[in-house]
Amino acid sequence: MRLEMGHIHIKDIRFSEESKIVDGVLFVCEDEIRKIVLEDEKIKSVTFDIAKPGESTRITPVKDVIEPRVKVEGRGGIFPGVIAKVDTVGSGKTYALKGMAVVTAGRIVGFQEGIIDMSGPGADYTPFSKLINFVMVCEPEEGIEPHHYEQAVRLAGFRVAVRLGELAKELTPDETKVYETCGIKEGIEKYPDLPRVAYVHMLQSQGLLHDTYVYGVDAKKSLTTMMSPTEIMDGAIVSGNCVSACDKNTTYHHLNNPVIHDLFEEHGKTLNFVCHILTNENVYLADKMRSSDWTAKLCRMLDLDGVIVSQEGFGNPDTDLIMNCKKIEAEGVKTVIITDEYAGRDGKSQSLADADVAADAVVTGGNANQLIRLPKLDKVIGTLDYVTKIAGSSADAIMDDGSYEVELQVITGATNEMGFNCLSAR
C-alpha cells in the first residue's frame, strides 16, 4: 500500500462564527460543533475550551486525545467502521492537522483517567502539553450507565475530529510524507539482503472499559491478524479504554504510532518492514495462550528475522507480553519488547508481573510509580472532583498549598509503551 500523508500545521485555534482554517489558524464555530456533539441523546451538555502550551492550565479527567484527519483521495474514510463506512483504508492521500488535538473530558467513568498539564513539571511528562488542545467537556444525561457514557463521549470526539479535519480537504499541505510497503514476494525480491522485520502491536482488550477497536470491531473478539501499517494512519484502530493514564494508548497515539513511523524510516535502508501484526490482551489464560500461539505462528509463516512488540497497560497484560516474546523467540525470531515499569516509588520492586530469560531486549518507558508534585495551576478545564480517586493518586494527595503529590500514573502518556514519551532508563 502507498499512503501520502499531508501535514497542515495549526499555529492557533480561535472561536468564530464560521469553522475554517486560514493561514494556519483553526477557527471553530461553537454552535456548529455543539450540534455535532449533541447528536447523541446520552450527552446532556458540552462546553468547549482551548488550552495552549505554556498556559497555567490543567485538563482533567482526560478520556481521549484525537488528531483531526481527512481522507482526500483513495478508498474509505477516517475511522472506518466507527464514523466512516467499513472499507479498507491506508492508501491514497490523507491530510492531518498537526500541532493540535481534540481532547475529550468530563465526569469520570473509570478510575484510570488522567491529567494533562499545559505548564509546570507535569507538562514535561506528557506530549500533549506541546499541542494546542481543543477540549470538549461532556456531561451525561442522568441515569446513563458509565460504559454508555464512555461510548457516547468517545464517538462525539471522533465526529468532531472528523469535522475539523474536513476543513483542510481543499488546502495545500505544509509538508507531505509518503509511506509505502511491498507485498511479501515483492519485498523478498526487492530487499533480499535486509532483515525482515514486523511490528507486533498488542491491543488492550480486557473488557470492562478496557477496549480497543479495529475497523469498529472490539479487538477481544478477533484472533491475531495482520494489516498494512498505513491503515492505522487513517484511523483503523481507535481507543476505547480507561487504563492507567500514563500508559494508555489514546487514539492520537494510534494515529501517530512511533514504532510504525520509525520502522518506515528504516524501511529499504537497514530493514524490510514486512507488516503490522495485531494481537489482543485478554483476561483468561486460554485466550492468552491462543493469541500468543497465533502471533508466533504468523511470525514464523512470514519468515521474519525480528519483531518489535509493544503492550498497553500493566499487570495482567505483562503475561501476554512475555508469552508473545517467549513463543516468538522460540520460533527463531529475534524479539524486542517495549513496556513500562511499576517498580514502586523507590524503584526497587519487580518491574513487570511476569518475566522470562527470552525477554533479553527490553525498552522501558519509565517507572509509573515515580512520585511527582504538581503545582496548583490557575485554570482547570473539566473538574478536580476526581483527582484524588484516579489511579496513581490518593485521598491525601492534595497538599495545604494546593499542590498535588501523585505518581506519574496520573499523567496522560507519561510512560507510554509505544515509546511516545520522554522517559526511559539506562
pLDDT at 425 exceeding the cut of 70: no
User: Could you report the per-residue pLDDT of 358-371, keeping only the tens digit for each?
Assistant: 999 999 999 999 99
Mean pLDDT over residues 188-204, rounded?
96
pLDDT at 132 exceeding the cut of 80: yes
The dihedral sign for the CA sequence 359, 363, 365, 371: positive
pLDDT at 147 exceeding the cut of 90: no
pLDDT band at 423 (very low <50, low <70, confident <90, very high): confident
pLDDT at 426 exceeding the cut of 70: no
pLDDT at 75 exceeding the cut of 80: yes
The pLDDT score that the predictor gives to residue 351 is 85
Q: Taking CA 280 as the corner, what is the angle to CA 330 and CA 301, rounded to the nearest 5 degrees?
A: 40
pLDDT above 70 coverage of the chain, percent: 99
The pLDDT score that the predictor gives to residue 242 is 78
Is 422 part of a structural domain of the chain? Answer: no
Is 117 part of a structural domain of the chain? Answer: yes
Omega before 61 cis (within 30°)? yes
pLDDT above 90 coverage of the chain, percent: 84
Please state the domain count of the chain.
Answer: 1
The pLDDT score that the predictor gives to residue 93 is 98
The pLDDT score that the predictor gives to residue 320 is 94
Mean pLDDT over residues 162-166, rounded?
98
Residues in the chain: 426
Nearest to 125 by CA among 366, 401, 309, 315: 366
Question: Average pLDDT of the chain?
Answer: 94
Q: What domain range includes position 124?
A: 2-410
- How many angstroms separate the CA atoms of 121 and 66, rounded? 23
pLDDT at 258 exceeding the cut of 80: yes
User: Could you report the per-residue pLDDT of 300-348, keeping only the tens digit for each?
Assistant: 999 999 999 999 988 888 999 999 999 999 999 999 999 999 988 888 8
The pLDDT score that the predictor gives to residue 80 is 97
Is 424 part of a structural domain of the chain? Answer: no
Q: Which amino acid is at 174?
A: D
- How many angstroms separate the CA atoms of 331 and 334, rounded? 9
Alpha helices in 140-277 (DSSP H): 146-166, 184-190, 251-255, 258-266
Query: Of 242, 246, 299, 325, which residue is the catalytic one?
Result: 242
Nearest to 257 by CA among 278, 243, 281: 278
Is 416 part of a structural domain of the chain? Answer: no
The pLDDT score that the predictor gives to residue 348 is 84
Whether residue 242 lies in the annotated active site: yes
By the 10 Å C-beta count (0-12 exposed, 13-18 middle, 19+ buried), 158 is classed as buried
- Dihedral class, residue 316 (left if φ above 0, else alpha if ψ from -120 to 50, else beta): alpha
Is 145 part of a structural domain of the chain? Answer: yes
The model's pTM is: 0.96
Mean pLDDT over residues 19-44, rounded?
97
Is 101 part of a structural domain of the chain? Answer: yes
pLDDT at 113 exceeding the cut of 90: no
Mean pLDDT over residues 48-76, rounded?
97
Of the segments 139-148, 332-341, 346-355, which one has the largest average pLDDT value?
332-341
Is 37 part of a structural domain of the chain? Answer: yes
- How many angstroms separate the CA atoms of 136 and 282, rounded? 31
Contact of 230 with 267, CB cutoff 8 Å: no
- Number of Cβ within a 10 Å radius of residue 3: 22
Is 363 part of a structural domain of the chain? Answer: yes
> Mutual orientation of helices 316-330 and 285-301 as an angle, nearest 10°?
30
